[in-house]
Structure 1
């Protein structure tokens, strides 16, 4: 016979759980409804203003106010930048700020072209997968099957395992040459084969094996450059021509080009590049014959078309370049749940997934995110080597638009450190045999300076624990039995017990 009391309690528990789930679902519904209603009621101008005045660092002191975009551009010595925000599969706004060319007083507009740098790899992957799909080629076959003008020189490092196109596109080929420096305007340009062999006038190392293909992920612009040669060997066409006809035109990216140098583009549409001090790159920008890895000239408005088409293709609602099946393959990380897929990196924030890629050429930085679901995204392009403003802008955009997971801002409350402790912390701490960390104070402020590095401020989260706003690190002071400081525990990727000298 059943225990009726237990049965009754079970029923109540189940009813309670169902009620809780219903309540939670209603709460979630109304929260989403409130966010969406707020966005719908605000105008585009309202949202732009909020984005422009909502920049935050990743570590934000609780009582500190957000930054203004133009103020942060001046702080970081950024001459110009351009952004676009995608909402519900449409560009909500696109806008440029500052100068594309300070010498010629040309301001950035939403039409100004920037070097997309490594974002080029995303468009390259579209081209490669379309080529292989159209010609029924195997992305898992040995790349030497398709290379004609040059063959990859396998050696003992690869241990007999062959590199395939999937490896090249997902940075799992075990190859070297992370990125490229480009070439000053007017300087001799190497051929792709000279680049792959590291032969003059190439300014990068030969592209060779570092470890067995397919065993781990290691970013390699060199590997992407091999994929460029595969494409031209198979098609017999110039790389920029194939990309223009088979990718850029179908996407509607009519302002963009892979031509290096960007011939045929009006000069006033091209942004100059600037170093971290705001000084113009010699010749205004570098030339990149490594087109697949770094050669795209574009703007956020054009890149938004690529992101939206990728999102629609993933849903099976469009196929301007790739169909749904191939798009899903392209957005599937090759080795891990998060990580490199084909020409993109995938990030999962508690079930909200994004594809994206960062950018960094001489004088240019940037990045983009596109959501797997919902049709949301953002693109930021900066004509500076200093890309610190990018995450601050992402923090602002994602907060205003409710893009879950993209804001990295963490609010912290500073602790009051007793005067006695503040007096005991200054001194030298031995981090490594070659590296000493010097701690000093000015009034209530604490500073640290590692050997040969600039001094930075440390912020107190407790009387003996400090964090930094400009680097991902923390330090904790440890006292001995007599109350004297005996060591500092410094954490930056690894934990170091640094004795006080």
Structure 2
């Protein structure tokens, strides 16, 4: 189906801070030249032939993104880290490479390291029933599970068949629920109870609720607060000393915290939300610290480091479990023959993404304090182009094609994408539009006389006619091929 239109976002100001993340010293001239190339070679996932490349400044203004922070990894080292714009517009406080952003679902990746550390230390068997390790609460199995147990690998790979995709967080003035209240969906929790949606092991279905269960497992096994265990056993050993899972964040860190902003650039009330769901969404960090995690993962995978996990457990963490992509807290992508481990994140007012190669020691991290994350793909494209990171460049270029109004009119109508779900095609002059039920109307741009594309998402549509020349099918290309029959 057609995707919802991406919100367009512009910065109220533009500042730049940068340094070598390795030494804190001024960036070398050769690296500075590459940074300048990255800053002016932004391109979207969809572009039109002849469209000029953008600068970071232009795209921050276009998307109303107030702050951006980047780290680039090359040959197992942080090549550079740089920050742009404002951490807080009202305070005129600039983003620096030390500014902390909410890592949102990237929190799950570091949580995976912490859980496997328990297994490595002999305190947890990843294949056994999770209820063997839960003492303050038990998962309430019912008939939906069909008698199958849920193990820790299921929770980390989203193959447990559990509900609750993600969490909205809490206003700074709201009462905060305990982890047990979150899992049971009882007040003051603002999310549904975490329960079985289907039997475990059937398929991967993203569940932040499942990850929250691992948070309780940590505290029940270690008898320590989750944030303390994660700092002492995971973050500190990897050198991520600026990062923390503590929710609410410590007052001493207030001057380092980025303020969250909506897609139109307006500030989130209370500056940011609180996430007592620390394991799936609670990490405060920055690209430089995340780069340390990526590099440690890469070195541990090759048996060259073991600050937290040894080679065997690192390999296990990066191995998909019951799914072609979902591993234990990370997703594995094969991009043009190069494998990457990666995760993205989306909390209220924050977006982030990291990519790390399984070989060669390359990667990139981008974090923004905005609900609009499209600029991240554009920055990653630019980094991939400048550094030649194979597989990370994703941009399809279309040619401009003119289609006359009479031909466009033959495509106008309603198409059934699935029972009760319609795609409406309309024409306004020489422009064609598509609108799926419950979504925004989007302009369709011609790449051929009968084939069109969206500029806001990787979606294409093709119109098929019968032998009498009547349009009967709208074929949608989005993660596969889907035919919608014309009904009006």
Taking structure 2 as the reference length, the TM-score comes to 0.89
Q: Show the counterpart of 2:413.
A: 428
- What are the Cα deviations for residues 272-316 of structure 1, in whole angstroms up to 9, with x where unaligned? 111111111110101111101101000000110000000000010
Q: Show the counterpart of 1:239.
A: 226
Q: Show the counterpart of 2:121.
A: 134
Query: Is 2:199 aligned against 1:215?
Result: no
Query: Is 2:275 aligned against 1:295?
Result: no
Q: Show the counterpart of 1:333.
A: 320
Distance 1:270 1:417, change over 3 A: same
- What are the Cα deviations for residues 136-186 of structure 1, in whole angstroms up to 9, with x where unaligned? 531111111111111111111111111111111111111111111111002
Is the CA contact 2:46–2:457 (under 8 Å) kept in the aligned structure 1? no
* TM-align CA RMSD: 2.0
Q: Show the counterpart of 1:59.
A: 46
SS in 1 for 2:449: coil
Counterparts of 1:338-417 in structure 2, within 5 Å, are 338-417=324-403
Report how far residue 480 of structure 1 moved: 5.8
Is the CA contact 1:430–1:437 (under 8 Å) kept in the aligned structure 2? yes
Pick one of 220, 240, 257 that aligns with 2:244.
Answer: 257
Q: Show the counterpart of 2:471.
A: 486
- What are the Cα deviations for residues 364-402 of structure 1, in whole angstroms up to 9, with x where unaligned? 111101101110000011111111111111111111111
Pick one of 166, 173, 181 that aligns with 1:186.
Answer: 173
Report how far residue 123 of structure 1 moved: 0.8
Q: Show the counterpart of 2:460.
A: 474
Query: Is 2:418 aligned against 1:456?
Result: no
SS in 1 for 2:252: coil
Distance 1:477 1:155, change over 3 A: closer
SS in 2 for 1:265: helix
Report how far residue 452 of structure 1 moved: 5.0
Is the CA contact 1:231–1:239 (under 8 Å) kept in the aligned structure 2? yes
Is the CA contact 1:425–1:439 (under 8 Å) kept in the aligned structure 2? no
- What are the Cα deviations for residues 164-218 of structure 1, in whole angstroms up to 9, with x where unaligned? 1111111111111111111100210000011111110001111111111112111
Pick one of 158, 164, 169 that aligns with 2:156.
Answer: 169
Inter-partner Cα distance in structure 2 for 1:216 and 1:482:
44
Query: Is 2:74 aligned against 1:87?
Result: yes
Higher helix share: 1
Is the CA contact 2:42–2:55 (under 8 Å) kept in the aligned structure 1? yes
Distance 1:492 1:481, change over 3 A: closer
Q: 1 or 2 for the larger relative contact order (CA 8 Å, sep ≥6)?
A: 2
Report how far residue 418 of structure 1 moved: 4.4
Is the CA contact 2:158–2:205 (under 8 Å) kept in the aligned structure 1? yes
SS in 2 for 1:461: strand
Taking structure 1 as the reference length, the TM-score comes to 0.87
- Greater Cα shift, 432-441 or 161-170: 432-441
- What are the Cα deviations for residues 381-426 of structure 1, in whole angstroms up to 9, with x where unaligned? 111111111111111111111111111111222223346534x347
Q: Show the counterpart of 1:12.
A: none
Inter-partner Cα distance in structure 2 for 1:146 and 1:136:
9
Inter-partner Cα distance in structure 2 for 1:130 and 1:268:
32
Q: What is the count of residue pairs matched by the alignment?
A: 457
Counterparts of 1:309-320 in structure 2, within 5 Å, are 309-320=296-307
Is the CA contact 1:473–1:490 (under 8 Å) kept in the aligned structure 2? no
Inter-partner Cα distance in structure 1 for 2:421 and 2:223:
54
Query: Is 2:83 aligned against 1:111?
Result: no
Distance 1:226 1:479, change over 3 A: closer
- What are the Cα deviations for residues 418-460 of structure 1, in whole angstroms up to 9, with x where unaligned? 46534x34743343656351322445x4333445543322221
Report how far residue 62 of structure 1 moved: 1.8
Q: Which runs of 4+ in 1 moved over 4 A?
A: 478-483
Q: Show the counterpart of 1:4.
A: none
Q: Return 5+ residue gaps in structure 2 as ranges.
A: 1-27
